[in-house]
């Protein structure tokens, strides 16, 4: 196991290197550059700026310089948000998105698994139909509909929760609830569906029949015999889902004024802010690679047939 | 043993149906038989004739929906299992009647250690046994079924065992509560031949040692001959012949039974060059069976009456019952044909 873990951790290095390299060159292939605007800058100004950011050097030299900086943990200056560098923007916004994401995924997990199991146990009952109905809604209603809808009901009409804002700017922790619920809905839908189908499949398996033939209670059978096997698909879904959810969502951030990292994914591309683009890509990749690694470890812990 | 017959399990007119899109599948359609204490009863028949469903019905393990036990009684020690509430049913399952399933590869939980699965079985029915004690007993059971180094191997996971060993574990688990009836649903079908013999011997030995009654479901007539006191032959959801083993093999009364016996390859007969006998055709679809002998399209002794009415049960000799028109009197057959004609006119 230890050997496997070390191997996997070392394996992340080439993966990330490939990702950095690809994104470094792909952003430069896209038409336009960071300093193209409505009005063309005077040539001298442009030359000065490019010289400042080393954009006048040959691409390979730029690549080497960038790689050298990244290894030292420096993601470089942002070309558009000139007050600070990429590190600053990422590390001030990522924690907010992460907090929101973790709360959202917890909500989605707890309710998704609960409803999914109940729907499987009471297949074709009202709770099954309710769960599947909610799941269809969750998957089909876009964030920009569900967000404002929740604001309308719980903030404008009922005045239970703040309409928007974020706790880090002193607006209270209750600001997390509405965006987390909005964000959780789609994940809840997928988790509930996955849990239901995998629980149904597990409950039909031979070893569950054996447990029944031994005279075990249904509740014990679910908890002791069926849960582990039924959770495997959820675990594999959670890896990428977690990476996606904690790296923010621009829609949620706009609707609820959350100072998250999601907006940088979109803004940086519009701005051709090369360093910021690659910066958020690196952050996302690292999280994704780590999550997939954790998923594999959890998998081995759950399923004794998997040995590394 | 045969003199002192005490029924432990009586199945009376059991009917289990499955609702499907194509219609109602009458998988078990009026099955009756009796298992006496310490006796081994074989149930034989082709695939899909309702053997397994019969035995899952006894334990009420039919997946519902789509399956449903629609009629009949299963009397265990005089008590109808089919009427029991869940909690009392659980007292019987695994404790008084236990089951060994067809496929040992999938019948043990792959996520739990053998020890966990065995200990929980014991502690489920004997609440005062502590974990250590249950573990000790599990190890003993594993030794009894021939698992080498049982002390160490009890903490293995099922995937670390071979198919034969897993089936041994299943048997050990099924017997750890000293069940009075053991239902073995094709316990050796998934295993290779050398292991088959060992497993069957083991079941036989345990049945002898503990006085356990065994219901052995199989489609292997050779196995039945070697192990069972009594045999029930099933066809299309019904028992078509029931007799003591010796009697059944020597005087098969139903054409289906004799067909089955003839289709077993034998080493001791002449004409080894001769092609092996086989029963022509396929078992019928049990959806919407017409009221006739279900075997008549494949039978070489078909008469007019077979096509128009279900044969009743006849006793050809003591304890030898058969459902076949061959044993009816001429008047009876004529009457059945006439009744069917009347029914058709309506």
What are the tens digits of pLDDT across the range A134-186? 999 999 999 889 989 988 999 889 988 888 888 877 778 888 889 999 999 99
Give yes or no for residue B300 having a pLDDT over 50.
Answer: yes
Q: Does B98 touch chain A (CB under 8 A)?
A: yes
**Mean pLDDT within A114-120:** 94
Phi, psi of B234 (to 5 degrees): -105, 145
Distance CA B262, CA B61 (A): 34
Is pLDDT of B269 > 70?
Answer: no
Q: Which of A245, A293, A239 shows the shortest CA–CA distance to A105?
A: A245
Mean pLDDT computed over B40-58: 87
Question: For residue A114, what pLDDT band results from cuts at 50, 70 and 90?
Answer: very high
Query: Is residue A50 predicted with pLDDT exceeding 60?
Result: yes
Chain B nearest C-alpha distance from A9 (Å): 27
Candidates B59, B109, B127: best to mutate against A (most CBs of A within 10 A) is B109
In tens, the pLDDT along B103-134 reads 888 899 999 999 999 999 888 888 888 889 99
- Higher-confidence residue: A196 or A175? A196
CB-based contact, B189 to chain A, within 8 Å: no
**Total residue length of chain A:** 308
CB pair distance less than 8 Å for B159 and A215: no
Query: In terms of CA atoms, which chain B residue is nearest residue A299?
Result: B111
Which residues on B lie below 8 Å from A304 (Cβ)?
Answer: 110-111, 113, 157, 159
Look at residue A198 and tell me whether its pLDDT is greater than 90.
yes
Residues of A in contact with B170 (CB under 8 A): 210
pLDDT above 90: residue B187: no
- Cα B134 to Cα B138: distance, rounded to the nearest angstrom: 6
Mean pLDDT of chain B: 84
Q: What is the mean predicted confidence (pLDDT) over A122-130?
A: 92
Which residue in chain B is spatially nearest to A124 when comparing CA positions? Answer: B65
Q: What pLDDT digit, counting tens, does each position of B227-247 carry?
A: 888 999 998 888 889 989 888
Which residues on chain A are in Cβ contact (under 8 Å) with B173?
A: 214
Given this model, what pLDDT does residue B2 score?
Answer: 46
- pLDDT digits over B142-168, tens only? 888 888 888 889 999 999 998 888 888
Half-sphere exposure of B281 (CA within 13 A, CB side): 12
- pLDDT mean over B70-93: 86
Asked if the Cβ–Cβ distance from B159 to A305 is below 8 Å, we say yes
Interface of B with A in 126-165 (CB under 8 A): 157, 159
pLDDT digits 0-9 by tens, A242-274: 988 988 788 888 888 888 888 888 888 888 888
B85 touches chain A (CB under 8 A): no
- Residue A293's pLDDT is 92
pLDDT of residue A103: 94
Q: Which stretch of A211-215, B216-220, B278-282 has the lowest confidence by average pLDDT?
A: B278-282
Which of A205, A206, A304 lies closest to B157 in CB terms?
A: A304
- The dihedrals phi and psi of B97, each to the nearest 5 degrees, come to -120, 125
B 287-346 residues with CB below 8 A of A?
none
DSSP string, B121-164: HHHHH-TT--HHHHHHHHHHHHHHTT-TTHHHHTTS-GGGS-HH
Q: How many residues does chain B have?
A: 346
Residue of higher predicted confidence among A161 and B269: A161
pLDDT score for B1? 42
CA atoms within 13 A on the CB side of B330: 0
pLDDT at residue B265 tops 90? no
Q: Does residue B84 belong to the interface with chain A, where contact is any CB pair within 8 Å?
A: no
CB B142 within 8 A of CB B153: yes
**B212 touching chain A per CB within 8 A:** no
B90–A205 CB contact, under 8 Å = no
Asked if the peptide bond before residue B65 counts as cis, ω within 30 degrees of 0, the response is yes
Evaluate if residue A76 carries a pLDDT over 90.
no
Please report, rounded to a whole number, the percentage of residues in chain B having pLDDT higher than 90: 11
For chain B, what percent of residues have pLDDT higher than 70? Answer: 97
The pLDDT mean for chain A works out to 89
Nearest to A206 among B59, B90, B103 (CB): B103
Q: What are phi and psi of B148, to 5 degrees?
A: -70, 150
Top-confidence residue, A36 or A160: A160
ipTM: 0.84
Poorest-confidence range of A33-42, A198-207, B62-71, B73-82? A33-42
């Amino acid at each position: 196991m230890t050997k496997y873990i070390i191997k996997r951790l070392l394996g992340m290095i080439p993966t990330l290197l490939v990702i950095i390299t690809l994104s470094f060159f792909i952003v430069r292939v896209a038409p336009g550059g960071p300093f193209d605007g409505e009005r063309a800058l005077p040539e001298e100004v442009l030359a000065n700026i490019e010289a400042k950011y080393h954009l006048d050097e040959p691409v390979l030299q730029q690549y080497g310089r960038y790689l050298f900086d990244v290894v030292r943990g420096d993601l470089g200056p942002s070309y558009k948000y000139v007050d600070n560098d990429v590190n600053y923007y990422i590390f001030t916004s990522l924690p907010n998105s992460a907090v929101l994401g973790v709360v959202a995924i917890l909500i989605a997990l707890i309710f998704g698994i609960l409803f999914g199991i109940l729907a499987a146990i009471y297949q074709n009952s009202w709770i099954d139909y309710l769960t599947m109905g909610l799941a269809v809604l969750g998957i089909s209603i876009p964030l920009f509909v569900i967000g404002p809808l929740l604001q309308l009901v719980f903030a404008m009409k009922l005045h239970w929760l703040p309409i928007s804002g974020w706790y880090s700017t002193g607006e209270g922790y209750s600001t997390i609830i509405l965006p987390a619920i909005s964000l959780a809905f789609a994940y809840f839908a997928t988790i509930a569906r996955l849990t239901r189908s995998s629980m149904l499949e597990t409950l039909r398996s031979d070893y569950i029949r054996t447990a029944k033939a031994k005279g075990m209670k249904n509740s014990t059978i679910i908890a002791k015999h069926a849960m582990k096997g039924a959770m495997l698909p959820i675990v594999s879904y959670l890896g990428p889902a977690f990476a996606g959810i904690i790296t923010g969502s621009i829609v949620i951030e706009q609707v609820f004024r959350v100072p998250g990292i999601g907006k940088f994914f979109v803004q940086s591309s519009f701005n051709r802010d090369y360093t910021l683009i690659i910066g958020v890509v690196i952050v996302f990749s690292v999280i994704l690679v780590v999550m997939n690694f954790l998923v594999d470890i959890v998998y081995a812990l759950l399923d004794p047939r998997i040995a590394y | 043993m045969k003199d002192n017959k005490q029924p432990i399990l009586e199945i009376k007119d059991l009917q289990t149906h499955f609702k499907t899109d194509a219609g109602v599948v009458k998988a078990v359609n009026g099955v009756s038989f009796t298992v006496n204490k310490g006796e081994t009863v074989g149930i034989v028949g082709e695939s899909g004739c309702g053997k397994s469903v019969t035995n899952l019905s006894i334990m009420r393990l039919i997946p519902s929906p789509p399956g449903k036990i629609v009629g009949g009684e299963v009397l265990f020690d005089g008590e109808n299992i089919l009427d029991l509430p869940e909690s009392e049913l659980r007292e019987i399952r695994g404790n008084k009647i236990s089951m060994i399933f067809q496929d040992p590869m999938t019948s043990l939980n792959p996520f739990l250690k053998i020890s966990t699965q065995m200990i929980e079985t014991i502690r489920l029915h004997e609440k005062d046994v502590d974990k250590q004690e249950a573990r000790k007993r599990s190890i003993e059971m594993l030794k009894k079924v021939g698992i080498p180094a049982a002390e160490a191997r009890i903490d293995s996971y099922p995937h670390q065992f071979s198919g034969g060993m897993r089936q041994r574990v299943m048997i050990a688990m099924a017997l750890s509560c000293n069940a009075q009836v053991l239902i073995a649903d094709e316990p050796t079908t998934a295993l290779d031949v050398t292991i088959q013999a060992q497993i069957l011997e083991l079941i036989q030995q345990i049945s002898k040692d503990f006085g356990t009654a065994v219901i052995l479901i199989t489609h292997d007539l050779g196995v039945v001959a070697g192990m069972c006191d009594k045999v029930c032959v099933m066809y299309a959801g019904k028992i078509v012949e029931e007799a003591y083993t010796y009697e059944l093999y020597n005087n098969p009364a139903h054409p289906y039974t004799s067909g089955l016996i003839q289709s077993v390859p034998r080493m001791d007969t002449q004409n080894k060059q001769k092609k092996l006998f086989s029963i022509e055709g396929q078992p019928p679809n049990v959806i919407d069976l017409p009221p006739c002998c279900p075997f008549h399209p494949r039978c070489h002794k078909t008469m007019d009456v077979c096509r128009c009415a279900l044969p009743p049960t006849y006793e050809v000799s003591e304890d030898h019952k058969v459902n076949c028109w061959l044993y009816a009197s001429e008047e009876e057959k004529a009457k059945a044909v006439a009744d069917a004609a009347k029914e058709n006119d309506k």
